[in-house]
Chains A and B, each alone.
Chain A
Amino acid sequence: MFTNYIFYFLSILALYSGVMVLLSKKPIHSVLYLTMTFFAIGGHYILLNAQFLAIVHIIVYAGAIMVLFLFTVMLLNLNKEDSSPKHIWVKAAAIIAGFMLGMILIGVFRGYDLQIVQQPMESQIGLVKQLGRVLYKDYMLPFEVSSILFLTAMVGAVLLGKKEQI
């Protein structure tokens, strides 16, 4: 029963801070609320007993990506309110479209029930040992290719951020 309360608490926290990302006037508040959402999702990973994913998620998202966003907001001095907000009709149409998409998705998924093979709290697949074995045995080639992707992204980011004209 206790896990249920944690689940609902984390869900409400994630949804609340997700909505506040959109409602905040200043970009820096949006970034901080997004960090809160990421921490709530990390809590969900721990609840699913996916410890490796929880650690990687906190390190990559809360540690690296949000720091990049914060640096960009602060370095470019973007922390001012939206000077020319979109027309109210565009906003209303966007909110109605998102609401209808949500209704359709919930209507499709409601009542869906997976034949549960494993209780998530008791599954051992999310542990670092198990996942590392799978990663280095079955997914060796994609793992190495992703390192090349990272190298390309790093070279691209440095090239784009250089001072002199390319």
Chain B
Amino acid sequence: MTALSSIPISHYLILCSLLFCIGVVGVLIKRNALLILMSVELMINSINLLLAAFSAYSNDPAGQIFVFFIMVVAAAEVAIGLAIIVLIYKTTGSIDIDVLNKLKW
């Protein structure tokens, strides 16, 4: 019993914050739209893990149901996002996000 409780919830908090920050840095430094989408996936996954951890530690199944729905939305988002990226590639010949500045001004 005591051995099992030796992972405090704060370790999950720190792990998920670090994963989230890696995702944020990825969105900021990459120019490839595909890699930006992957960094967003990493951020979504860190939040999912934190929700599941809190749900398991406080014995409330609602958190895990929310993780399930977040996965549903993430899957739909990736399908649409990749279709849009393919369309951008067909139109402009590259997926560099700096090309997409038509709406800038």
| Chain A residues with a Cβ under 8 A of chain B | 1, 3-4, 7, 11, 14-15, 18-19, 21-22, 27, 30-31, 34, 37-38, 41, 44-45, 48-50, 52-53, 56-57, 60-61, 64-65, 68-69, 72-73, 75-76, 78, 82-86, 90-91, 94-95, 97-99, 101-102, 105-106, 109-114, 116-123, 125-126, 130-131, 134-135, 138-139, 142, 146, 149-150, 152-154, 156-157, 160-161
Contacts and interface: CB of A to CB of B under 8 A. Distances in A.
Contacts of A157: 79-80, 82-83
A109 B8 CA distance: 12
Contacts of B15: 11, 14-15
B103 interface: no
Given A105-B21, A121-B4, A76 B95 contact: yes
Given A27-B32, A78-B34, A82-B31, A48 B20 contact: no
Contacts of B39: 21-22
A90 B43 CA distance: 21
Nearest to B26: A22
A82 B26 CA distance: 14
Interface residues of B, number: 74
A116 B74 CA distance: 30
Contacts of B76: 149-150, 152-153
Interface string B43-85: 0010011001111111111101101110111111111101111
A120 B83 contact: no
A18 B19 CA distance: 7
Contacts of B69: 139, 142, 146
B75 A102 contact: no
Contacts of A44: 49, 52-53
A153 B72 CA distance: 11
B14 A114 contact: no
B9 A112 contact: yes
B50 to A, nearest CB: 10
Contacts of B5: 116, 119
Contact of B82 (A30, A72, A131): A72
Contact of A76 (B35, B65, B68, B89): B89
5 contacts: A7-B11, A18-B22, A72-B86, A120-B56, A123-B56
A161 B86 contact: yes
A69 B82 contact: yes
A85 B53 CA distance: 37
Given A21-B42, A37-B45, A131 B64 contact: yes
